[in-house]
Amino acid sequence: MIKHKHSYKSDKYKADSIAQNKSIGDIYYFHDNIYQGITFTGENRLIYTYDSERNSCLGYNLKQSNISCQDYSINKGDTLTKSYKKNGSFNINGVECELIVLEYPNITYHQYVTDGFYIDPKLYLNHQAFDFVSKMKATNGRASIRTEIIMKDYTMIIDMIEFKESKEPLTDFSQFDEWWKLCEDPKSASE
């Protein structure tokens, strides 16, 4: 289980005003062929469950009570143009890290990684959505201690605040058995 805190900085806007409309944190749970995430945005929670065998992701918006399915075998966003390791030693929250820079046409990611925090390759090798497979390959499967997502007007900072073994999933995965039928019916799946 990995927990993250999200923060923002900008030369153009006040960080507090950006944060009011953006996520404040998330929790990921990784187990076998499934990972599950919960993103916290104000009072709302967005829950998503990725199944690598189906290569699909179920999304559930608690505030709007809607369920969607996305095909993660397709990347509908930007594609990585360049990745490289930046020279130097970087200390993030007391942890010595390497800095991997990922350049996309409109966004740059700074991924601060270290050995010891790995994601099972079966959870990303077929995960094309959001170009996740390229990001994970660039870091050799290591989860980031910090990710800085640098956009035109602001930077989002995602800090890992906890990483631990957990035998308890975020939710009971069996509750999604009916929902996966959305992925099997193309008319029901969201685009």
- Domain residue spans in the chain? 2-184
**Residue 129 DSSP SS3:** helix
User: Which residues lie closer than 8 Å to 151 by C-beta, 6 or more apart?
Assistant: 106, 107
- Architecture per CATH, domain 2-184, reads as Clam (2.50)
Residue 120 has, within 13 A of its CA and on its CB side, a CA count of 12
Q: List pLDDT tens digits, range 97-148.
A: 999 999 999 999 999 999 988 888 988 999 999 999 999 999 999 999 999 9
What CA–CA distance (Å, rounded) separates 165 from 76?
Answer: 33
Q: Model's pTM, two decimal places? A: 0.85
